Amino acid sequence: MTIHSSGLPHRWRALGIAGLLAALAACGGDPAGHGPAAQAPDAAPARVSLIPQPARIEPAQGRFVLTAATPLLAEGEQARTVAAQFAALLAKGRGLAPELAADGAGGEGAIRFAIDPARATGAESYRLDVSPQGVDVVAGDAAGLFYGAMTLLQLATLDDADTVALPALRIEDAPRFGWRGFMLDPARHFWSVEQVKQVIDAMALHKLNTLHWHLTDDQGWRIEIKQYPKLTEIGGCRIPAGDGGIDPASGQPRPYCGFYTQDQVREVVAYAAARHISIVPEFDVPGHATAAIAAYPELGTLDTPLVPSSEWGVFPNLFNTEEATFRFLENVIAEMVPLFPGPYFHIGGDEAVKDQWEASARVQQRMRELGAKDEMAMQSLLVARLEKFLAGHGKRLIGWDEILEGPLPAQATVMSWRGGEGALKAAREGHDVVMAPSGDLYLDYLQTSSPQEPPGRPATITLQQVYDFEPVPAELEAERQGHILGLQANLWTEHTRTFERLQHHMFPRLAAVAETGWTPAARKDYRDFLQRLPAQLRRYQRWGIGYALTPFQVDAVARDERATGTATVTLSNPLDYEVRYTTDGGEPQADSALYSAPLPVTLPATVRAAAFFEGRPLAPARDYAYDAASLRVRSDEQLATCPAAGDLLLRLEDDGPADGERAIFNLTIFYPCWLWSEADLDGVASIKVRAGTIPYYFQLAHDEPHRRFEPARSAHGELDILADGCEGERIASVPLPAAPEADGFVELTAALPQGLSGRQDLCLRFTGDTRPRTWVLDRATLQLR
């Protein structure tokens, strides 16, 4: 398919994809820089909306007015570096450019940065004092001083007032966890050096300190290895599925390529280190190896040639167990280790389906030679060997929790992604643990049920779910809790084709991750977090961070009452901010009607609604227009998932056009059906369905048997309509064509039996296994007699 669906969501507004250091300068402060710091000792303390919430805040009386003339004082190279970073960020975010004073300068009305180990309360801790006379930021190390500067920067952006006034207060602060991480995946969709730097900038502003860089996978090898140039020459390119992999000008295959040179890696690592972020590289073994084996076939288990995959999922391709392959792994690691000065090196270890090892006589012989009783023991031997190799290079091995399925070296660290059981097992065995459960901290999962969400993975992980996650399992014994190093949010990018979408998935949920990683558990409060979040959104706008609008917009559901020519409209905001609306087409304002109960409207009707906080809209208003005809139409986003389909709902993008915006469809790949709940069938003669096809690009490994489809009864399958839900009686059926029309779609009309009436649950289901394509539903329309 190459054209857009009529049900395509509008372009969600980007709030800037330029990096922090290229953000649009906002007005604020005294642009001329005149006058000393003003004092207002009688001013009442304002709300201090900081994220993450500091460990301790003591409000005081008065304020400190920051201007371009405010001197910045710092002694020593590290303190002067932090002061300069603060000045640069303030200039980009508020249009103020205070200058760093010469060594030894003093006087009131200044901001002083100091490193004093004697006053430290722990690694990364700081103290911030603001009074009408000046500001002091003191820490025991450079990281703590930097975090104090980030808090000061937030204080300078509490509001949009022309005057930058810092409330008088004292903050004593330190992080709860030492590992506060985010994982970026360039293997599926590649991110440029500048985009990676923008991610690092945003992490630093949230006091996150670990970037996990997932550099290798089935779909792409993303780091230069000089000893093995084919890893990037061949493994660094794939042909996208369908129309997306065809050059529209020539009709020839168009590769999707990208990798980081070693010089670029050094550049990114240094950039992160300057912001006190350690980068943990990942070289995934023995699975997720298709791109590497495509480059060097002798590394694989089969004789079948491979190419870097354009599909998503779990692949069977593993590195083989030959000594030469083990030396290859060590040689690659040996080139990577000097590029990353941090203490950890990630070796993956996840989703290594052992079918190829089980079927290979050579692997089985090799297992006997090495004394491995089964395939998992073979993987454990590999992990142990790499752990020893890494230790010899001064690194600690970390891997996904599957490495626990066999004997694990004592010094190995476990990243627990499959829930809490792996974390409990690892900690009880004495291993350090990083919590990254897929059900709470995977940011490529959808964050709201809005039809405006971009493509994403199954189910929904809301902002509150992320915020409420507790890294230390309640069942873990007190003496083992110290093994929980912290937490990490992961963002896999199979369905994240643009940097705009990457930021949409990250923010504001990464702010919730940051608060869990930094703030003492007793200080966390989700409702208070929501009170502080609007100020953070304004900072995002200043800093050029393109956060998601969907949590801050208003969703609407209308129930038609056809007999009376009316409808009832239910409005909601995913975060429960107040909703205000108009029905006359006007823009909602702070004094517009406050939504409190479903609205009865006479058709035709237009409802325009926005979410507000303290009199200000949080996102652009959304319009909902209803008439009798539109209420007989449902898009795929408005239809429910059939219970028989399970919970693997994917929000998938069309395969074309090759460039630009594409249609998006909700689909359950395990059972292609949709449910129209309580469809009003009075007077309905037929149902018309607009459908199309997209490539079926999924590898399901051992989950493949769980995929269901009803057998086709004709050459290409059918569109079946069932009454009373997806287990009900088939009441209509239309044969499917061999392919859609030239525009990528086909309209199918199924006549319904006479005598249907009232409200019924209609199931719309495609039959037959149509791979390598799969049918998707764009919209359904009830047609009257």
| One-character DSSP codes across 690-718 | EEEEEE--EE-GGGGGG---PPPSSTT-E
Q: Which whole-number Å values give the CA distances from 373 to 381, 384, 385, 410, in the listed order?
A: 11, 15, 17, 21
Q: How many Å apart are CA 529 and CA 50, to the nearest integer? A: 9
693 versus 41: the higher-pLDDT residue is 693
Using alpha carbons, select from 767, 776, 741 the residue that is nearest to residue 664: 776
Cα 579 from chain centroid (whole Å): 26
Q: How many Å apart are CA 106 and CA 322, to the nearest integer? A: 67
Using alpha carbons, select from 461, 463, 465, 427 the residue that is nearest to residue 445: 461
Question: How many Cα atoms sit within 13 Å of 491 on the Cβ side?
Answer: 28
Cα 764 from chain centroid (whole Å): 31
Max Cα-Cα span within the chain: 92
Using alpha carbons, select from 747, 743, 754, 733 the residue that is nearest to residue 779: 747
**Bridging pattern class, strands 718-723 and 126-131:** unpaired
Cα 33 from chain centroid (whole Å): 40
| Helix spans in 137-261 (H) | 142-155, 193-205, 230-233
3-class secondary structure, 564: helix
CB 293 within 8 A of CB 319: yes
Q: How confident is the model at residue 103 (pLDDT cuts 50, 70, 90)?
A: confident
CB 337 within 8 A of CB 393: yes
- Give residues with Cβ within 8 angstroms of 778, minimum separation 6: 5, 6, 7, 635, 636, 663, 665, 690, 691, 692, 745
> Is residue 566 pLDDT above 80, yes or no?
yes
Mean pLDDT, range 430-435, rounded to an integer:
98
Q: How many Å apart are CA 192 and CA 263, to the nearest integer? A: 14
Q: Which whole-number Å values give the CA distances from 396 to 148, 169, 289, 406, 756, in the listed order?
A: 29, 41, 22, 18, 67
> Is residue 12 pLDDT above 50, yes or no?
no
Omega of the bond leading into 772 within 30 degrees of 0 (cis): yes
CB 209 within 8 A of CB 181: yes
Using alpha carbons, select from 449, 453, 481, 487 the residue that is nearest to residue 468: 487
pLDDT reported for residue 665: 95
Q: How confident is the model at residue 26 (pLDDT cuts 50, 70, 90)?
A: very low
The residue assigned the tokens 């919209």 is: 779
Sheet holding 633-635, edge to edge: 633-635, 773-784, 684-695, 745-751
Quote the tokens at residue 236: 């660094």
Mean pLDDT, range 200-206, rounded to an integer:
98
> Is residue 8 pLDDT above 60, yes or no?
no
Q: How many residues does the chain have?
A: 785
Quote the tokens at residue 166: 């810092």
> Is residue 726 pLDDT above 90, yes or no?
no
Q: How many Å apart are CA 432 and CA 548, to the nearest integer? A: 34
pLDDT tens for 327-364 read: 999 999 999 999 999 999 999 999 999 999 999 999 99
Using alpha carbons, select from 190, 196, 194, 309 the residue that is nearest to residue 257: 190
pLDDT tens for 470-507 read: 999 999 999 999 999 999 999 999 999 999 999 999 99
pLDDT reported for residue 561: 87
> Is residue 39 pLDDT above 70, yes or no?
no
> Is residue 35 pLDDT above 80, yes or no?
no
Q: How many Å apart are CA 155 and CA 189, to the nearest integer? A: 36
As a whole-number percent, the residues of the chain with pLDDT over 90 amount to: 84
Helix, strand, coil % over all residues of the chain, rounded to 5 = 30, 30, 45
> Is residue 44 pLDDT above 70, yes or no?
no
Q: How confident is the model at residue 121 (pLDDT cuts 50, 70, 90)?
A: confident
Quote the tokens at residue 27: 């007005």
CB 490 within 8 A of CB 436: yes
CB 254 within 8 A of CB 282: no
Strand residues in 40-144 grouped as ranges (E):
56-66, 72-74, 111-115, 126-131, 134-139
**Bridging pattern class, strands 344-348 and 396-400:** parallel
Using alpha carbons, select from 749, 771, 607, 625 the residue that is nearest to residue 698: 771
Least confident of 35-39, 88-92, 162-166, 336-340: 35-39
pLDDT tens for 636-668 read: 999 988 876 666 788 999 999 888 899 999 998
As a whole-number percent, the residues of the chain with pLDDT over 70 amount to: 93
Phi first, then psi: give them for residue 564, nearest 5 degrees: -105, -5
pTM, 2 dp: 0.92
Host H or E run for residue 263: helix 262-273
Mean pLDDT, range 111-122, rounded to an integer:
89
- Give residues with Cβ within 8 angstroms of 216, minimum separation 6: 187, 222, 223, 282, 283, 284, 288, 289, 291, 292, 348
Instruction: Please state, rounded to an integer, the average pLDDT across all residues of the chain.
Output: 92
CB 662 within 8 A of CB 640: no
> Is residue 37 pLDDT above 50, yes or no?
no
CB 408 within 8 A of CB 388: no
pLDDT reported for residue 647: 63
Q: Which among 351, 405, 429, 500 is annotated as catalytic?
A: 351
Quote the tokens at residue 781: 């329309």
Please confirm, yes or no, whether 479 is among the known catalytic residues.
no
Host H or E run for residue 636: none
pLDDT reported for residue 239: 97
pLDDT reported for residue 755: 87
Sheet holding 555-561, edge to edge: 555-561, 566-572, 599-602
Q: How confident is the model at residue 160 (pLDDT cuts 50, 70, 90)?
A: confident
Mean pLDDT, range 133-149, rounded to an integer:
97
Look up residue 761 and give its amino acid.
Answer: D
CB 753 within 8 A of CB 728: no
CB 213 within 8 A of CB 260: no
pLDDT reported for residue 40: 39
